[in-house]
Structure 1
Amino acid sequence: MKVHLIANMYPSKQHPNYGVFVENTEKILAQSGATFDRTVVTKQSSSIGKLTAYASHFFKVIGKSLFKKYDVTYVHYATHNSIPVLIAKKLNKNMVIYTNVHGSDVVPEFKKREKYQPYVKRLLEVSDTVITPSAYYKQLVQQKYGLRNRIEIFPSGGINKETFYEKDTRIACEELEIDPDHRYIGFVGRIDRGKGWDVFLEAAKLLKEQGGLEGCKLLFIGDGLQKDSFDEMVDSYGLRDDLVHFPLLSQQKLNSVYNSMSVFCFPTMREGESLGLVGLEAMACGTPVIGSRMAGLLDYMEHGRNGFLFEPGSAETLAASIKTYMDLPEEAKQSLRETAKQTAAAYEVDAIKPRLSKIFSI
């Protein structure tokens, strides 16, 4: 099977994590015997670079679709690829299209992206198969667009057990050059709207006021558009000395991050959180998750078994959940860690590979 992979996110040497789930999906299909012609956009460092990359991408998508023969055109992210793929489909009615929708495809996070929704809807209507990362997101897609064509679930490339696995906490801390004698309450994500970084900091402030941060540090991994607001909040809440902050890290480094944490906080408030791979990555390292009771997290989180769920946006209930976990006897914590690892195992690449091969009939 020859596949034309179209994606506006794909890893590069400079940005190895950018769209890594697209690359992981490609690898799974390649292992099943598919061959690829790739038309992708990598992360650009300037506005001019981004504009040039997208213009080139636009014309390559149309040109290749017209003059080359593929068994399947596989589209990752409907929003940014909808217009050129729809033009190509109009000119080449024999195109077989599989569209993998993610996050803001269905729930735009910025007003300027809402204008693409008619094109997203049309692309999904002409797609032979629509692929979603979770049961939650499948239902969201069905409800919003009223689709009648085939919708399949595949969890965004899954978890690579060679990258995310449990290891000794002290060794992980030493690899990050952080103090192994502290317990770490963690967050991994962009410092952007809806990611819940502010809820995390407010919960930490409440814990500190209650004496709940004694012997603990906040381990925060991320960067983003709201970095200035983040720094202001850290200082105004008096959390600077309680915080260990790294910008975005490689997946190999993230393994050490998750293994350094006592618990991982996932306070998303995004309706478009289509799965939440970071939660599963933490679980694969034996780290229980405290996550918002919403969106794709509900596909794999079980309250009291592999972590805790709290009300989205509520710093009070997040703080209470962190305290509840920290106060558990070691035997109960170990039970949660073991169940977390079992949950993640169901999302490992080897476990989910047959699903994607079946979707593509390879």
Structure 2
Amino acid sequence: MNSDLLIGLIAEGKHLGGKYVYYRNLTGALAERQAPFVEIRHRPVPRFSPQRVASYVLGRLAGDRRARMVDFELNAKARELNRLRTRPTVFHTQHPFASVTIARSALRDTPIVQTVHSFWLIECQALGLAADDELLRKYRAIQDEALERTDLFITLNRLQSRRLAEYGVEPGRIVQIPNAVDPDALLAASRPFHHEPGYVVVASRLSPEKGTEVAIEAIAAIPPQERPHLLILGEGPAGKALVDLALYLKLEDHVRFLGVRDHDETIGIMRGAELVLCPSVPYHGIEDSAPLTILEAMAVGTPVAASRVGGIPEYVEDGVTGYLFEPGDGSALATIIREHRQRDGERRRQMAEDCRAAMARCFEHWTDEILDAYRSVLPAARRTSAADALPSCRPSL
């Protein structure tokens, strides 16, 4: 690997979301390829530092306390970057905040590559921030700054690419690299899960856009003698309402809420399932981009039943690696579950093989494409010297 490339990764704190899994996959893939990178972990700013207190007081006086505190956090992290001993040749971020932090630091001339996982401003509005809210105005300004200062956006699907174009990002600053997972690593890490056979799984945050209620309604629509157990993994704001729905539909013997399980156990649960369900629905402008649950399920040989929303149809081949249905259609999902369970063993084994093969093909070139994205934003001299080490990026829009 060419020594002119040093990747600065803004570290992702450990959590159950897709950004952390993407980050973990990325660091593992770069290490395997011996691509030089440094992980940049910001330290928490002391709660009662003089600068924080001053920002708070000034914000109270000016009536924009929350907005000033956001700027304070960004600028504090920018000062941390100024003290880096080794200067990366390219930064990789996963959030507009991180891109703006770099743009405000002494390293502002270093190229920035950002992977787009979701459109966070839309999510903020869906959570109820008013259009005239001071914090939302600040967030919008940060997003605009990130859109302007980021050199290249990696999107996971065509939906994200189109939305960035609508925000005014030129096609030359967008490259679409579908998400990917390593099937061998997942199979090796998965932990056995002991449960009677014949169950289906939902594994996601329990929030409105995930549509978990559609899965519960689908189980209710299946005749009792044919019902599989539905295992629901995760937690979130919709959790209580989902438990109440299962009780209302008298499904307490068929729906189990398992709460949050660690990643390796979750993989084991999905590996033993007949189907993994992803019944996402549009919610106040939020559309699932590319849930890693889908990719991980297929990587361990479990077909998925997923709704036609966001970027999901780009990852699931209907009838080959899974099934697609219209968002919110619990009756269609019930039919899919019943028909899949009635398929003969050979057809189901073939679907499992097709799932694993599709994910293996996807992962095979993923690291090369990520590395080429870095190369494409390097200054001309470095880009020329690195050209032999990295293949060319495929076009986006």
TM-score interval (norm. to shorter): 0.7 to 0.9
Q: Which residue number corresponds to residue 104 of structure 2?
A: 87
Give CA deviations for 1:94-137 in whole Å, capped at 9, x if unaligned: 23211222123364243438542342233122211111122332
Please report how far the alpha carbon of residue 284 of structure 1 lies from its aligned counterpart in structure 2 after TM superposition: 1.1
Indicate which of 3, 10, 29 corresponds to 1:6: 10
Q: Which residue number corresponds to residue 61 of structure 1?
A: 77
- Preserved contact between residue 18 and residue 292 of structure 2 (Cα < 8 Å): no
Give the share of equivalent positions with the same residue, in percent.
Answer: 19
User: Equivalents in 1 of 2:226, 2:188: separation in Å?
Assistant: 26
Q: Kindly report which structure 2 residues correspond to 1:39-54, keeping only aligned pairs within 5 A, or say none.
A: 39-40=41-42
- Which one-letter code corresponds to 1:264 in the other structure? V
Q: Which residue number corresponds to residue 292 of structure 2?
A: 277
Aligned pair in 2 of structure 1 residues 41, 103: CA closer, same or farther (>3 Å)? farther
Please report how far the alpha carbon of residue 54 of structure 1 lies from its aligned counterpart in structure 2 after TM superposition: 8.2
Please report how far the alpha carbon of residue 19 of structure 1 lies from its aligned counterpart in structure 2 after TM superposition: 1.4
Residue 94 of structure 1 aligns to a residue whose secondary structure is coil
**Structure 2 residue ranges without an equivalent (≥5):** 45-65, 130-134, 376-389, 391-397
TM-score (ref. length: structure 1) = 0.81
Indicate which of 100, 116, 141 corresponds to 2:164: 141
- Which one-letter code corresponds to 1:11 in the other structure? K
Q: Which residue number corresponds to residue 359 of structure 1?
A: 373
Q: Which residue number corresponds to residue 270 of structure 2?
A: 258
Q: Kindly report which structure 2 residues correspond to 1:48-127, keeping only aligned pairs within 5 A, or say none.
A: 58-68=74-84, 69-78=87-96, 80-81=97-98, 83-88=100-105, 93-105=108-120, 107-108=122-123, 109-112=126-129, 115=137, 116-127=139-150
User: Equivalents in 2 of 1:328, 1:37: separation in Å?
Assistant: 47
The answer as to 2:318 corresponding to 1:303 is: yes
Measured on the aligned residues, the alpha-carbon RMSD in Å equals: 3.1
Q: After the TM superposition, which of the residue ranges 280-289 and 126-135 deviates more from structure 2? A: 126-135
Please report how far the alpha carbon of residue 200 of structure 1 lies from its aligned counterpart in structure 2 after TM superposition: 0.9
Aligned pair in 2 of structure 1 residues 341, 6: CA closer, same or farther (>3 Å)? same
Aligned pair in 2 of structure 1 residues 321, 98: CA closer, same or farther (>3 Å)? same
Aligned pair in 2 of structure 1 residues 5, 262: CA closer, same or farther (>3 Å)? same
Which has the larger share of strand? Answer: 1
Length, aligned pairs only? 335
Q: Kindly report which structure 2 residues correspond to 1:295-334, keeping only aligned pairs within 5 A, or say none.
A: 295-334=310-349
- Preserved contact between residue 5 and residue 73 of structure 1 (Cα < 8 Å): yes
Q: Which residue number corresponds to residue 394 of structure 2?
A: none
Indicate which of 211, 218, 221 corresponds to 2:233: 221
Give CA deviations for 1:283-312 in whole Å, capped at 9, x if unaligned: 111111111112121222111111110001
TM-score (ref. length: structure 2) = 0.75
- Preserved contact between residue 216 and residue 255 of structure 2 (Cα < 8 Å): no
**Structure 1 residue ranges without an equivalent (≥5):** 43-50
Which structure's CA Rg is the greater one? 2
Aligned pair in 2 of structure 1 residues 334, 40: CA closer, same or farther (>3 Å)? farther
The answer as to 2:219 corresponding to 1:204 is: yes
Q: Which residue number corresponds to residue 209 of structure 2?
A: 194
Please report how far the alpha carbon of residue 83 of structure 1 lies from its aligned counterpart in structure 2 after TM superposition: 4.7
Please report how far the alpha carbon of residue 67 of structure 1 lies from its aligned counterpart in structure 2 after TM superposition: 4.3
Give CA deviations for 1:118-175 in whole Å, capped at 9, x if unaligned: 422331222111111223322232234343442122344x3133442399xxx97xx3
User: Equivalents in 2 of 1:128, 1:73: separation in Å?
Assistant: 10
Please report how far the alpha carbon of residue 36 of structure 1 lies from its aligned counterpart in structure 2 after TM superposition: 0.8
User: Equivalents in 2 of 1:18, 1:151: separation in Å?
Assistant: 19
Residue 276 of structure 2 aligns to a residue whose secondary structure is strand
User: Equivalents in 2 of 1:311, 1:184: separation in Å?
Assistant: 22
